[in-house]
Structure 1
Amino acid sequence: MFAKVLIANRGEIARRIIRTCRRMGIATVAVYSDADEKALHVREADEAVRIGEPPVAKSYLNIEAILRAAEETGAEAIHPGYGLLSENAEFARAAVARGIKFIGPSAEAIAAMGSKVAARETVKRAGAPVVPGSEGAVADADEAARMAAEIGYPVMLKASYGGGGIGMQVVQSEEELRKAFASNSARAKAYFGNGEMFLEKRVQRPRHVEIQVLCDAHGQAVYLWERECSIQRRHQKVVEEAPSPFVDEALRQRMGEAALAICRAIGYENAGTLEFLVDEDKNFYFLEMNTRLQVEHPVTEMVTGLDLVEWQLRIAAGEPLGFRQGDIRRDGHAIECRVYAEDPEKMLPSPGTISRLVLPEGEGIRNDVGVESGSEITPYYDPMIGKLIAHGRDRAEAIQRMQQALDAYVLEGIRSNLPLLRAIVASDRFRAGDTTTDFLESWGKR
Structure 2
Amino acid sequence: MVAYRSKVVERIELPSRERRERTLSEAGYNVFNIPAEEVYVDLLTDSGTGAMSDAQWAALIRGDEAYAGSRSFEELRSAVADVMGFEYVLPTHQGRGAENVLYGTVLSEGDVALNNTHFDTTRAHVANQGAEPVDCPTDAAHDRDSEAPFKGNFSIDRAREFVDEVGRDRVPLVILTITNNSAAGQPVSVENTRRVSEFAEEIDATFVVDACRFAENAYFVRERESEFADASIAEIAREQLSYADAVVMSGKKDGLANAGGFVATDDRDLFERCKPRTILYEGFPTYGGMAGRDVAALAVGLREAVEDAYVADRVDGIREFGQLLADAGVPIVTPTSGHAVYVDAGAALPDVPADDFPGQAFVCELYREGGVRGVELGSFAFPETDRPELVRLAVPRRMYHGDHFEHVAEAAAAVIEKRSDVSGFRVATNPEIPELRHFTAELEPISS
TM surpasses 0.5: no
Q: Relative contact order (alpha carbons < 8 A, sep ≥ 6): 1 or 2 greater?
A: 2
The TM-score bracket by the shorter chain reads: 0.3 to 0.5
Structure whose residues are more often helix by fraction: 2
Q: What TM-score do you get using the length of structure 2 for normalisation?
A: 0.33
Higher strand proportion: 1
